[in-house]
Amino acid sequence: MFRLFPGAAVAGAAQSGAPPAYLSVLEEEAAKIMAGTEAELASRETWEPLRKRRRQELQDMLGLDPWPARTDLRARVTGKLDFEDYVVERVVFESIPKCYVTANLYLPARRDGPVPGIVYVCGHAGPAEGSKTAYQRHGISFARNGYACLIPDTIQIGEIYSVHHGVYGLKHWDWYARGYTPAGVETWNAIRAMDYLETRPEVDKQKMGMTGRSGGAAMTWFTAALDDRIRVAAPIMGISTYVANLHENTQKGHCDCMFPLNFHRQEMAHQGALIAPRPLLMAHGRKDSLFPVAGYTKFEELMKVLYGSYGKPDRFRNIVVDTGHADSDYLREEAIAWFDTHLLGKPGRKLEMRYVNAEPRQLAVFQGHPPRDAINPKIDLVFRPAAKPAVPGNRGAWIKRRRELTELLEKRVFAALEKGSSRAQGGNSRALVYLVPHDEEAAATANFFRFAGFPKDATRMLVYPRFTTNRDTLRNAMHVGTSPDALRVEEVLRVVRGLQAAQITVAGRGTDAGVALYAALLEPRIGGVLMIEPTESHWDGPVLLNVLRYTDLPEAAGLLAPRPLHFFHHMPPAYEFTAKIYQMMGAREAIGECYSLETAINVLSASRCSAEPSRCV
């Protein structure tokens, strides 16, 4: 699927010193995704047959498939503030056991009966008392105009600290490998906030809506797309297209919570389509560098066509203001007017927009003393734990597991991979494909071949990385459903499929050892793998979207059996797991330590490995 620059060079070729223009490659992929999206959203007739699948995919990409258990909210009110025409309650509930969500509930002081309920989702602002205190003007305005408005804290800027910026700021590459995004937790918390509003007798359960700005807009998009109880939505300054984002490289300014992990290769417009034809208001600023004009304009174009096909053009609107990424009194009023029209049924009335903020400490739920049993700080590990593979009890169990795992890797980890075919094998020639580490000097590569016993009659192919795993490449590649290491696998496959050698061994060092392994799993022409100082877990790389949801390196390596798997000089202890699988498959002699490239590339000589200790000589 990816048309990359050639990824190989013969021995001795110089590696280009110029940085690769990887964004243009990813933009091409984003353009393909957009083309497919335009076809899907062309009309109600083209979209409706796909709605259910696309919704399930979004749920999956947020880490919410299957849904977490809807456990008891254990909600309680810790205090109440009375004002002239509205009241504020300090509320806490548990979205999952011991994951505490602190919130403020704004209610009209005088009510004739149940009133519409709004969940206002916060962006990235707020003091120690929580982000809810920075957005209280919205709760006040809703309450003064006849709504119940619940403002929950985000998990990062709340009374109990958790992390939003794991990939962005802390190099938590494992988030991608485990299929985790904080957007999933925030979306689940918003869904449980709706559950909480439904328990309140003051709220009309048939009239529920959701709004928020920036990060709150993102949560509004995700939650409204997945929860039909949200009858009206108003995400403010929070949508674009992946094409526009990649072109402007906007990820540099975005929190990790702004995106699902796009391994199903959707466009952002799918989120709007999943809301359609429910009333949808969005707003953007012409000077907002986080959401490019080209992105939200394209999004608007797609939504107008789709809503028109439902015969509901008046249910969609995009407001564009001449500002940057900023809130305003104007947008606050326009949002309430939108809910007035489509939820309350009172269009055009005069709104009361005056507000006076309370001191943040007055709104704190725990008053500086949060519960000690909170799992919030480790919510990523609870929400999306890594798989814990176990050695199957017998050969039959492994064969079944191998079939299941192979399918998961193909459909959930390498779905974006280019499909290709190999050249016919030729003669008795042998080749070693070596993945040159991005930080390995040319002299070190030359010395490796000089002193490791490389046979004179074999071909060596050096594959240099086109881009490396860092924050920017990881996040941009994720937009189109892949990762730099997955693209590295694809480069290797393109090289191998172009070779005519009869015996092909692929070798990699460090994280590239894992890349070599997966290339072999995806290409049966690769006769064996040489792993040099490999990582023992995907926690340390290579980074492949979702892989830790299903397996880890030692189990994945077992899929190679009975093809030879060599470890240059040293087999790390974790791969004793792999050796047990090889033993189970009757191929114990095909795995072991190796001290010579001569042995490593000659897959026909694998039988010379002794069983104890497992070493090739």
Read off the pLDDT of each residue in 435-464 and give the average, rounded to a whole number. Answer: 90
- When pLDDT is cut at 50, 70 and 90, the band that residue 596 belongs to is confident
Instruction: List the single range of 279-293, 440-454, 598-612 with lowest mean pLDDT.
Output: 598-612
> Do residues 380 and 166 lie in contact, with contact meaning Cβ atoms separated by under 8 Å?
yes
3-state secondary structure 521-532: HHCCCEEEEEEE
pLDDT digits (tens, 9 = 90+) for 143-192: 999 999 999 999 989 999 899 899 999 999 999 999 999 999 999 999 99
What does the pLDDT read at residue 21? 65
Pairwise pLDDT comparison (609 vs 309), residue with the higher score: 309
3-state secondary structure 146-185: CCEEEEECCCCCCCCCCCCCHHHHHCCCHHHHCCCCHHHH
Residue 461 has pLDDT above 70, yes or no: yes
What does the pLDDT read at residue 1? 29
Rounded Cα–Cα distance for residues 389 and 411 (Å) = 19
pLDDT digits (tens, 9 = 90+) for 507-560: 999 999 999 999 999 999 999 999 999 999 999 999 999 999 999 999 999 999
Highest mean pLDDT among 218-227, 434-443, 598-607: 218-227
Instruction: List the single range of 56-60, 297-301, 591-595 with lowest mean pLDDT.
Output: 591-595
Residue 317 has pLDDT above 50, yes or no: yes
What does the pLDDT read at residue 393? 93
Rounded Cα–Cα distance for residues 111 and 104 (Å) = 19
- 193: which residues sit within 8 A by CB, 6+ positions away? 93, 101, 103, 119, 150, 152
Domains and CATH numbers, the chain: 33-383 (3.40.50.1820), 392-616 (3.40.50.1820)
What does the pLDDT read at residue 409? 96
Is the Cα dihedral 575, 577, 581, 584 positive or negative?
Answer: positive
What does the pLDDT read at residue 228? 98
Read off the pLDDT of each residue in 415-435 and give the average, rounded to a whole number. Answer: 79
> Do residues 358 and 524 lie in contact, with contact meaning Cβ atoms separated by under 8 Å?
no
Residue among 584, 586, 574, 579 nearest 614 (CA)? 579
What does the pLDDT read at residue 218? 97
Residue 561 has pLDDT above 90, yes or no: yes
Rounded Cα–Cα distance for residues 286 and 294 (Å) = 10
